[in-house]
Structure 1
């Protein structure tokens, strides 16, 4: 049986643990000031304790992951960075 870190227990920095999450929604974030240039693929992720977080895949990696994503599916995430939420949003 695998052991997963809960989203509420994540701390800022590089995460060496694995998190199991359900992908609720994802969408393209585009820069309207730069002719709609793709900035990232953003998503809402939920864990088994119903903790919700925002996730983001940088535009340079979108092509690698977009075909693998399906809303409602469960994923094991590893090798990711955790950043504090911007308080303006």
Structure 2
């Protein structure tokens, strides 16, 4: 069975088990200059198949499992 994807416009705030297939348009890290440039979070711009854009922010402590999948232009 193929996975079921939802559009960004149909996602609701909070915990959910939905999956959205998106393109990663831009990616950059927010760093704490007072702590030697320590990574605080990663900010992203995401785009779905109907050209809905959303900004995502992920805390640095949650990045490691996904770091290998994060590259601009990827899906």
Aligned equivalents of 1:28 and 1:65: distance in 2? 14
Instruction: Report the secondary structure of 1:19's partner residue.
Output: coil
TM-score of the superposition, structure 2-length normalised?
0.81
Higher strand share: 1
How big is each residue's C-alpha offset from its partner over 1:30-68, in whole Å with a ceiling of 9 and x where there is no partner?
134444331111111000010101112211122332222
Structure 1, unmatched stretches of 5+, are 75-89
Determine whether 1:46 maps to 2:47: yes
Aligned equivalents of 2:21 and 2:62: distance in 1? 20
TM-score of the superposition, structure 1-length normalised?
0.70
Residue matched to 2:10 = 9
Aligned equivalents of 1:2 and 1:62: distance in 2? 23
Identify which of structures 1 and 2 has the higher relative contact order when contacts are C-alpha pairs closer than 8 Å and 6+ apart.
1
Aligned equivalents of 2:63 and 2:3: distance in 1? 28
Number of equivalenced pairs: 74
Residue matched to 2:25 = 24
Determine whether 1:68 maps to 2:69: yes
